[in-house]
Amino acid sequence: MTKRLCFAAGDVGGARAILPVARLAAAEGYTVLGLDHGVFRAEGADGWHWVTHEDSLIADFDALIYATSVADPLAFQTALSARTRGIPIIHVLDNWSLYAERLHGPDRFDVSQLLIPDVYCVMDQLARREAIAAGVPEAILQISGHPNLAGLAEEEASFAAAPSMNGHILFVSEPAVIDSGDRQDPNGRGYDEVQVSALFAEAYAAMPKAQKLPIHIAPHPREDRIAVTTRWKELAQTHGLRFLIVPTDGVREALHTAKAVVGMSSLLLYEAWLLGQPTLSLQPDLRMDQLAQPGKRDGLELCTQVHDVMVAVQRLAAAAAPKGTGRHDMALHTGAARAVLFCAM
C-alpha cells in the first residue's frame, strides 16, 4: 500500500520549508495530504489531497511533516492530534530562532500544550547547538539542511545572465510588531520594523550621493503592503531617497540582483550571505539571544546598538559590489528535502 504522508504549515516560512519535501514525496509515488491553509495550499499542487483543519485532526495518514508558526497554531494542532493517535510526527525548523518555543502551542481549546516530535529537523550544526542549549531534547534533533535552500545554487545560475542595470540595495522587511510587539514591549525583540526602517533610511541618506543606490523594499508576506509603502514614502521624502516596493513575485530577482542586502532576522539575509553578497542585520537593542545568530557567521554583520547603525550602513554601502561565487555552506542544503523525507520512512 502506498504510504500516506500529511504536511502542515502555518505561514510562509514554514510552508516553504516543507513544500520541497512534499513535492519530492509526490514525485516518488507517495500519497500527499496537505492542510488546506495559507501559503502551503497556495503554492502546493492541485493534485494533492487537501484536508481542512477539522479533517486533519481525524484524517488517516502514516506520518506528519509539519512546521510551526508564531502567528498560526493550526499545524501544531494537527500535530497534537496525530500524536494522540500514535502517528509519527516530524517537525521541520524554518529559521534559527525559538527552538524550544516551537514545542509549545495552544490546542483547539486554547490551552497551552507541550509536544515533543519524534524528529526535530534543523538546518545545521549551529541550529543543533542552539536548540540543545534552549532545552530541546538532543535525542530528537536531526541535521537535515534547509529544504527551501536546496535549489539556491541552481537559482543563482538562472539569474547570472540577468542584466544588473545599476543595481540596488535590498531592504528585507518583517512584521516584528505583529510577531513580538513594538520596541517598547518588555517581552519583545527590543526593536521593530518602524524603527529599523527609519534608522536605515537616515544612515543611508547620510552617505555621499555618488555611493547611493536605490533601495528596493521587500515586504514580508504577512505585512500590510500599503502600510509599508506609506512608511517608505515618508522616509524617502524626508531623506531624499529613491525606493521601490518589490512586487510579491519579484523578491527572488531582487535578492539575486542586489548589490547588498539589509534587514533584521529574515531567512533572506542568510540566503544573501550564502550567495556571497554584503549583508547586514540591523537589530538595535536586541533582547532575544536567539535572534543574534547572524553575528555568528563570518561575513554577515550584526548591529545591535543604535549608535553603531550609521557606521554599519557605511560599511555595507562601501562593500556593495557584484556578488561573489557563494559560500561552501550552500552545499549543506542540497539534499535537505530527501533527508527530511527519510525521517518519515
The span from the first CA to the last CA of the chain, in angstroms, equals: 13
pLDDT at 212: 75
Residue 210 is predicted with a pLDDT of: 46
CB 92 within 8 A of CB 18: yes
Judge if 134 and 206 occupy the same domain: no
Same structural domain for residues 132 and 176? no
pLDDT of residue 149: 93
The CATH number for 238's domain is 3.40.50.2000
Same structural domain for residues 146 and 245? no
pLDDT (tens digit, 0 to 9) for every residue of the chain, 345 residues total?
689 999 999 888 999 999 999 999 999 999 999 999 999 999 999 999 999 999 999 999 999 999 998 778 999 999 999 999 999 999 999 998 889 999 999 999 999 999 999 999 999 999 999 999 999 999 999 999 999 999 898 888 888 755 555 689 999 999 999 988 999 999 899 999 999 999 999 999 998 864 678 999 999 988 999 999 999 999 999 999 999 999 999 999 999 999 999 999 999 999 999 998 999 999 999 998 888 888 888 889 999 999 999 999 999 988 865 554 557 788 889 999 999 999 998
Give the model's pLDDT for residue 326: 56
User: What pLDDT does 320 receive?
Assistant: 66
Q: How many domains does one find in the chain?
A: 2
In a shared domain, residues 173 and 305 = yes
Q: Do 197 and 258 sit in the same domain of this protein?
A: yes
Whether 327 is covered by a domain: the verdict is no
Q: Is residue 158 part of a domain?
A: no
Q: What is the residue type of 335?
A: G
Query: Is residue 191 located within the same domain as residue 308?
Result: yes
- Residue 113 and residue 169 in one domain: no
Same structural domain for residues 20 and 44?
yes
Collapsing DSSP states into helix, strand and coil, what is residue 273? helix
State the pTM of this model: 0.86
Based on the fold, state whether residues 130 and 176 are members of the same structural domain: no
Q: Which domain holds residue 146?
A: 4-150+332-343
What does 58-118 look like in DSSP terms, one character per residue?
A: T---SEEEEE--SS--HHHHHHHHHHHTT--EEEE--SSS-TTGGGEEE-TTS-EEE---S
Whether residues 242 and 336 share a domain: the answer is no
175 and 132 share one domain: no
